[in-house]
């Protein structure tokens, strides 16, 4: 980590987990047998993401993946999302999406005490974007697409 | 350049003295001195502009063109002085050829709506280029869809220059009636070869509109020498306020155009049966205009012209050369466009780091750059990019600021490695 120490003031936003998932996003592929998918579009910055979901027989999300390019924040958020929504019901995933949006906007995390506490703990590093209003949408884009996919809509936009 | 010109060469811009005239440059951002490298999006304002607008509000303000009282008459004079300043700035033949609009976007929309519908016929073509700002793409698309004109796009070379061979070919069939093209790209910094563009277009029977949003800040523009037919620019990039810009057009062309917006100030007589339009330019200036902004624009033009165009151009060239040299030293930095004739706008990518991350990290160091598509999505796609970071320069930009940008960029790269 040559130059990293010299940029200590950036650590609130670019925590190690974000740099790691940004560099090596998990589940970054198209799901051939996806039951649901939706595109997310942030026209302001040009970020585009597509989220794929495979649903299990019990209706839970069996597998999630994403495609798309963007900044470290958007890639890390999408990557963490695919890990955290697997095994959850649609309602649970929506609750998580709503908690993430509130975290990104305010930096506070009331949901961290509730049913999704464990997942929110992993997402907590994304709360750093609340200090950067123009970057909030980077963190929420994949989650908008997730909700659109769950609702059976093909497209989400952050506008 | 002959000997007399060389002896005559003016001294360089006194950047320290210029900076002292911009109060905002003393601000700190996130605990660091502001390094403002986003002037191509909007320039900062010198005290002369700020004070002119405040003075108007404190001492000399009323609605214009209608009051018979002292305040209205004085304010009208102050506002109309901006028209004289814009006429001189562009070298226009007559002051009535200066139409005030809100910004470049509105100027182009006015042209597309009015000239586009009244003069262009379905089947005629409008020729733009692949390096246009969205403001010089979308109005023509709307005209295409509503009025049946054809929209043609002149390609850009890998070096980021207008492909003049393709440009000439697109004019060949004589159906292009209007060429609408940037004078300087807001992404690549490329100056387009206006004299050749105008010569080819006129030979093919097409009029030429130039988008001068960027160029007018950095170079002496003389519309008569350039030979174009319309020229559009906005005030806020020229150290002036937001909300005011200029559409210049040749008088006979403006006179042949119907109004864009209807309302007060743009008529000579009104009855419920019919109205008659005021003469140019008032025909295009419906409603109470941006009065204070006009006063500010006049101050901004005076301030910029007083710098001396030779000095402004030399300063911009030195900054751009320095920036290109410093950025080329950083591993992984790729500058977009290598035009021969280019100005103080440098777009770049950094391998392995998205432009938004670059911008955010630079912001933490007090540096303001723009990141994204720069309202030129088709151009980004042309170069296979989702986004770039962009540093742009102004009269108040220093070499030290560019060195600081380069140092911090090298650190960004180390941070993400």
What does the domain layout of chain B look like in residue ranges? 3-33+308-416, 50-305
pLDDT at A42: 82
Instruction: Taking residues B155-172, report their average pLDDT.
Output: 98
Distance CA B414, CA B417 (A): 5
Distance CA B210, CA B138 (A): 16
Interior angle at CA B314, CA B310 and CA B315, nearest 5: 115
Instruction: Say whether residue B330 is in contact with chain A using an 8 A CB cutoff.
Output: no
Kindly report which listed range (A149-153, B97-101, B179-183) carries the lowest average pLDDT score: A149-153
Closest to B295 in 3D by CA, of B75, B68, B28: B75
pLDDT at B143: 97
Report CB contact under 8 Å: A135, B372. no
pLDDT digits (tens, 9 = 90+) for A104-143: 999 888 777 777 888 999 999 999 999 888 899 999 999 9
Q: B192 is written with which tokens?
A: 């387009």
Distance CA A135, CA A127 (A): 11
Nearest CA in chain A to B385: A46
Distance from the Cα of B12 to chain A's closest Cα (Å) equals 36
Nearest CA in chain B to A137: B356
What is the rounded radius of gyration, in angstroms, for the C-alpha atoms of chain B?
A: 22
Instruction: Say whether residue A10 is in contact with chain B using an 8 A CB cutoff.
Output: yes
Instruction: Taking residues B279-284, report their average pLDDT.
Output: 95
pLDDT at A1: 38
Distance CA B344, CA B404 (A): 17
Chain B positions in Cβ-Cβ contact with residue A16 (cut-off 8 Å): none
Q: Is the pLDDT of residue A3 over 60?
A: no
Distance CA B301, CA B192 (A): 23
Distance from the Cα of B166 to chain A's closest Cα (Å) equals 29
If you count residue pairs, one on A and one on B, with CB atoms under 8 Å apart, how many are there? 61
Q: Name the active-site residue from B228, B369, B375, B409.
A: B375
Report CB contact under 8 Å: A45, B417. no
pLDDT confidence bin for B9, thresholds 50/70/90: low
Q: Is the pLDDT of residue B210 over 50?
A: yes
Chain A positions in Cβ-Cβ contact with residue B413 (cut-off 8 Å): 3
Distance CA B326, CA B162 (A): 26
Distance CA A61, CA A35 (A): 10
Which of A 128-157 lie inside 8 A of B, CB atoms? 132, 135, 138
Q: How many CA atoms, within 13 angstroms, populate the side-chain half-sphere of residue A61?
A: 27
pLDDT digits (tens, 9 = 90+) for B67-120: 789 999 999 999 999 999 999 999 999 999 999 999 999 999 999 999 999 999
Kindly report which listed range (A35-44, B279-288, B327-336) carries the lowest average pLDDT score: A35-44
Domains of chain A: 11-151 (3.90.1010.10)
Closest CB from A10, A46, A47 relative to B361: A10
Strands A36-42 and A155-157: parallel
pLDDT at A157: 65
Name residue, tokens 């108007």.
B56
Closest CB from A2, A19, A71 relative to B356: A71
Closest to B153 in 3D by CA, of B191, B127, B131: B127
Active site residue B375: yes
Q: Angle formed by the axes of helices A136-150 and A90-106, to 10°?
A: 160
Distance from the Cα of A53 to chain B's closest Cα (Å) equals 25
pLDDT digits (tens, 9 = 90+) for A9-47: 777 788 889 999 988 999 999 999 999 999 998 877 678
Domain B3-33+308-416 carries which CATH code? 3.90.1150.10
pLDDT confidence bin for B265, thresholds 50/70/90: confident
Report CB contact under 8 Å: A47, B377. no
Produce one character per residue of A65-84: b if its CB has 16 or more CB atoms within 10 Å, e if not.
bbbbebbbbbbbbbbbbbeb
CB atoms inside a 10 Å sphere around CB B352 = 13
Instruction: Judge contact between B244 and B299, C-beta under 8 A.
Output: no
Instruction: Say whether residue A46 is in contact with chain B using an 8 A CB cutoff.
Output: yes
pLDDT at A158: 64
pLDDT digits (tens, 9 = 90+) for A92-114: 999 999 999 999 999 888 777 77
Closest CB from A3, A13, A69 relative to B414: A3
Instruction: Taking residues B142-157, report their average pLDDT.
Output: 97
Kindly report the average pLDDT of chain A as a whole number.
Answer: 88
Q: Is the pLDDT of residue B291 over 80?
A: yes
pLDDT confidence bin for B4, thresholds 50/70/90: very low
Nearest CA in chain A to B408: A7
Q: Which residue has the higher pLDDT, B150 or B413?
A: B150
Kindly report the average pLDDT of chain B as a whole number.
Answer: 95
Instruction: Say whether residue A112 is in contact with chain B using an 8 A CB cutoff.
Output: no
Distance CA B153, CA B181 (A): 10
Closest CB from A4, A44, A73 relative to B372: A44
Instruction: Say whether residue B372 is in contact with chain A using an 8 A CB cutoff.
Output: yes
Distance CA B65, CA B288 (A): 9
Instruction: Taking residues B240-257, report their average pLDDT.
Output: 98
Distance CA A23, CA A101 (A): 23
Distance CA B259, CA B21 (A): 40
| Residue B329: strand, helix, or coil | coil
Distance from the Cα of B88 to chain A's closest Cα (Å) equals 37
Give the sign of the dihedral formed by CA B326, CA B356, CA B340, CA B190: negative
CATH 3.40.640.10 fits B50-305, yes or no: yes
């Amino acid at each position: 980590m040559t130059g990293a120490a010299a940029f200590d003031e950036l650590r609130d936003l670019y925590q190690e987990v974000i740099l790691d998932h940004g560099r090596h996003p998990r589940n970054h592929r198209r799901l051939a047998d996806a039951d649901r998918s939706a595109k997310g579009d942030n026209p302001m910055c040009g970020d585009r993401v597509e989220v794929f979901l495979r649903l299990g027989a019990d209706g839970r999300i069996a597998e999630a993946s994403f495609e798309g390019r963007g900044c470290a924040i958007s890639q890390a958020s999408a990557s963490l999302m695919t890990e955290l929504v697997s095994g959850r019901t649609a309602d649970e995933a929506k609750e998580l999406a709503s908690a993430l949006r509130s975290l990104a906007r305010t930096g506070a995390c009331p949901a961290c005490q509730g049913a999704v506490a464990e997942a929110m703990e992993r997402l907590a590093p994304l709360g750093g974007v609340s200090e950067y209003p123009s970057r909030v949408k980077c963190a929420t884009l994949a989650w908008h697409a997730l909700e659109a996919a769950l609702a059976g809509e093909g497209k989400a936009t952050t506008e | 350049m002959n000997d007399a010109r060389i002896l005559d060469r003016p001294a360089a811009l006194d950047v320290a003295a210029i900076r002292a005239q911009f109060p905002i440059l003393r601000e700190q951002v996130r605990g660091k001195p502001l390094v403002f490298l986003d002037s191509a999006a909007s320039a900062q304002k010198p005290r002369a502009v700020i004070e002119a607008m405040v003075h108007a509000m404190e001492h000399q303000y009323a609605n214009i063109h209608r009051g018979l009282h002292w305040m209205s008459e004085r304010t009208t004079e102050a506002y109309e002085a901006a028209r004289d300043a814009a006429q001189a700035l562009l070298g226009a033949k007559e002051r009535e050829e200066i139409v005030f609009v809100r910004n470049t976007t509105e100027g182009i929309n006015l042209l597309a709506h009015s000239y586009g519908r009244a003069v262009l016929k379905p089947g005629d073509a409008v020729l733009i280029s692949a390096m246009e700002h969205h403001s010089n793409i979308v109005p023509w698309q709307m005209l295409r869809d509503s009025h049946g004109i054809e929209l043609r796009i002149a390609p850009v070379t890998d070096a980021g220059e207008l492909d003049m061979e393709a440009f000439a070919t697109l004019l060949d069939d004589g159906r292009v009636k209007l060429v609408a093209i940037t004078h300087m790209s807001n992404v690549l910094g490329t100056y387009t070869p206006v004299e050749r563009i105008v010569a080819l277009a006129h030979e093919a029977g097409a009029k030429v509109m130039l988008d001068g949003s960027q160029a007018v800040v950095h170079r002496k523009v003389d519309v008569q020498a350039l030979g174009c037919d319309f020229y559009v620019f906005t005030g806020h990039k020229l150290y002036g306020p937001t909300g005011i810009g200029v559409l210049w057009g040749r008088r006979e062309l403006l006179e042949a155009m119907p109004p864009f917006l209807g309302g007060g100030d743009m008529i000579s007589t009104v009855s419920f049966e019919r109205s008659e339009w005021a003469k140019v330019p008032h025909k295009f200036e419906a409603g109470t205009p941006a009065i204070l902004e006009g006063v500010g624009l006049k101050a901004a033009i005076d301030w910029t012209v007083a710098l001396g165009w030779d000095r402004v151009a030399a300063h911009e060239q030195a900054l751009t050369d320095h920036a290109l040299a410093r950025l080329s030293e950083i591993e992984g930095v790729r500058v977009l466009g290598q035009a021969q004739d280019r100005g103080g706008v440098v777009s770049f990518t950094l391998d392995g780091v998205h432009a938004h991350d670059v911008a955010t990290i630079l912001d933490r160091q007090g540096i303001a750059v723009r990141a994204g598509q720069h309202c030129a999505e088709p151009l980004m796609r042309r170069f296979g990019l989702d986004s770039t970071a962009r540093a742009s320069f102004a009269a108040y930009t220093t070499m030290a600021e560019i060195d600081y940008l380069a140092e911090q960029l090298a650190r960004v790269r180390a941070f993400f490695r």
